[in-house]
Amino acid sequence: MAKILPILSSQLNIFFIFSFFFIIFISGEAHGFAKALDEKLFGLNEEKFTHLRLFWHDILSGTSPTAVQVVPPVANSSTAFGLMNMIDDPLTEGPELSSKMLGRAQGFYAAASQQEVGLLMAMNFAFIKGKYNGSTFTVLGRNTVFSKVREMPVIGGTGVFRFARGYVQAKTYKFDQNSGDATVEYNCYVLHY
């Protein structure tokens, strides 16, 4: 009896282990909404690394502004805390607005700091040129606009930029203190497929 018990228990163990896998298999089939895919079939075999240099134009003045205030700042904030602007800003190849149009930066920025002018930027760079036409990537990050260079993460993308990750470096090219109009150079470093 003492000899039979361990054998019996090991057989029981095996039985339970198999039942366990069987249940996983069955439940996997029953809820077949998710399955593993072959990355190569989706063209995900070679990651690319792309640098894009473009100029971002934030125009608040004039009759057709590209940035519009949708939430005013709280009263008496020296950092415009609470302000929120919705943007549809042109992205061009050169610093002049008349240079080649590459796409638009669509989203918003909001003043999120009470100590300095620090923006939360949330925008999609939507491209219209060549093989990038129709593709987007998303920039979400902190922008202390009076710093020389501000770095923000690229957190995803579509089209050519599927699975995008990376960062942008923003550098003010021109800023008009009276109107608030700004031209900012964006150097984008993006990993994608």
Ligand X SMILES: *[C@@H]1O[C@H](CO)[C@@H](O)[C@H](O)[C@H]1NC(C)=O
Query: Interface with ligand X by CB under 6 A: which residues?
Result: 75-76, 128-129, 133-134
Closest CB to ligand X among residues 65, 103? 103
CA of 37: how far to CAs of 25, 34, 159, in Å?
17, 9, 19
Closest CB to ligand X among residues 88, 151? 88
Smallest separation (angstroms) from ligand X to the CB of 82: 12
Smallest separation (angstroms) from ligand X to the CB of 75: 4
Smallest separation (angstroms) from ligand X to the CB of 134: 5
| Contact residues for 184 (Cβ-Cβ < 8 A; gap 6+) | 55, 56, 58, 170, 171, 172, 173
Closest CB to ligand X among residues 28, 134? 134
Closest CB to ligand X among residues 76, 177? 76
